[in-house]
Chains A and B, each alone.
Chain A
Amino acid sequence: NAGVTQTPKFRILKIGQSMTLQCTQDMNHNYMYWYRQDPGMGLKLIYYSVGAGITDKGEVPNGYNVSRSTTEDFPLRLELAAPSQTSVYFCASSSGDRYEQYFGPGTRLTVT
């Protein structure tokens, strides 16, 4: 199993551009999450999903959108990128009834 995969690994955006961060898991997990981590800080939850077609906001959802059309995929959309969105983005998944979240390798995004 590949676990949780994320693409791209790195990306540089100009202010105002848009992009989609891809996340795929092959563990048949119902729960999926998007976090961002700024330098020297902990992770902040952006959005999460408890199953296909169901998403909800986390702590810092402004400037982002998500969709969950399948169990495997949970893309994160950035509209009108701003320098404040420069961060490392982690996708994670879990079975929901267990305590363990499995994290992807992250996407390092720079907005200039």
Chain B
Amino acid sequence: LAKTTQPISMDSYEGQEVNITCSHNNIATNDYITWYQQFPSQGPRFIIQGYKTKVTNEVASLFIPADRKSSTLSLPRVSLSDTAVYYCLVGVPPDSWGKLQFGAGTQVVVTP
């Protein structure tokens, strides 16, 4: 499985846009990129997934350049409730689903 690298932490103010970049240099042709969000004392929650270019849903956008060696999760106009840990995972269901690794993730702290 492709190894992923993310920043350990990021700070932001309410109303700003937060961009978290994940590096995955060894991504395979069939791999998808998936992001999860985890609040304290809760299990992770799926946010978004994509294969290439840009994907947007009601929560976030995911930007994937043509070489797919990195991806950027964009959280628009964050609020205090977006304070959480964000995980980037790379793999292809169902083959890699038993081998997925949640790294330490990126701790995002949003302050007023």
A interface residue numbers (CB < 8 A to B) = 4, 31, 33, 35, 40-45, 48, 50, 56, 58-59, 90, 92, 94, 96-106
B104 & A42 in contact (Cβ 8 Å cutoff)? yes
Q: Is B104 in contact with A41, judged by CB distance below 8 angstroms?
A: yes
Chain B residues touching A, range = 20 to 34
Extra 19 A-B pairs, beta carbons < 8 Å, given A90-B44, A99-B34, A103-B45: A31-B97, A33-B97, A40-B104, A42-B102, A42-B103, A45-B98, A50-B98, A58-B98, A92-B43, A97-B94, A98-B93, A99-B46, A99-B93, A100-B34, A100-B46, A101-B44, A101-B46, A103-B42, A104-B43
Is B41 interfacial (CB 8 A cutoff)?
A: yes
- Which residues of B are interface residues toward A (Cβ below 8 A)? 32, 34, 36, 41-46, 49, 87, 93-94, 97-105
> Interface majority SS on B: helix, strand, loop or mixed?
loop
**B97 contacts A43, CB within 8 Å?**
no
- 4 A-B pairs with the lowest CB-CB distances in the bound complex, closest first: A103-B43, A43-B102, A96-B94, A100-B46
